Structure 1
């Protein structure tokens, strides 16, 4: 069994109603192909855990990657697992504190995972202005 966990960022304003609709649709799709998992939405970010047969997880994740409601997909974990974290539900809607520890840490470090622009100090920029100052 494969377990995949990823983070992504919503492109549009996401409400509780929209998130609930995503979960309901996911429950139907996941149940049809033997997947289980969980979805968390917090501060404009999704964290999702998918678990099930290798081919089913791969197909579902390929579809997720093309979903226009989010961007900046970052895979946090992609492993083989013996037991499911969510064996009873095709897609649970969770609060961040209901997640397993590794998922909670991933969500908590959301901003640390995003590439940060290189900051330039005044000292780095001074050479660019020196010729103009001398003129």
Structure 2
């Protein structure tokens, strides 16, 4: 339980840091993009936590996992639409590939490896922080 709380705390700290670190002279759109990126990183972190809960039980519930993967895909799409930052784009691409691999494993009835998803979500949180 502590690792999940730690990831959320880290993501929320990143959001606060972004809000405080953006210079007052920056345009509103720069501030809004930074906040959007950080908020979506928090949402994705929550999605990853929920996915881990769904697949860490005695048996993977494919429907629950599919629903959570759909939520992750939607959040990934949102962040793709809201940023033109190359580093964020690269992190999002890594996350999408990792999510696709989890979906493939679940579709094949295999236990998915969530390590790459967690790593990519962490990478996204980093690039959304100043």
TM-score by length of 1: 0.27
Larger helix proportion of the pair: 2
Structure with greater strand share of residues: 1
Bigger Rg, structure 1 or 2: 1
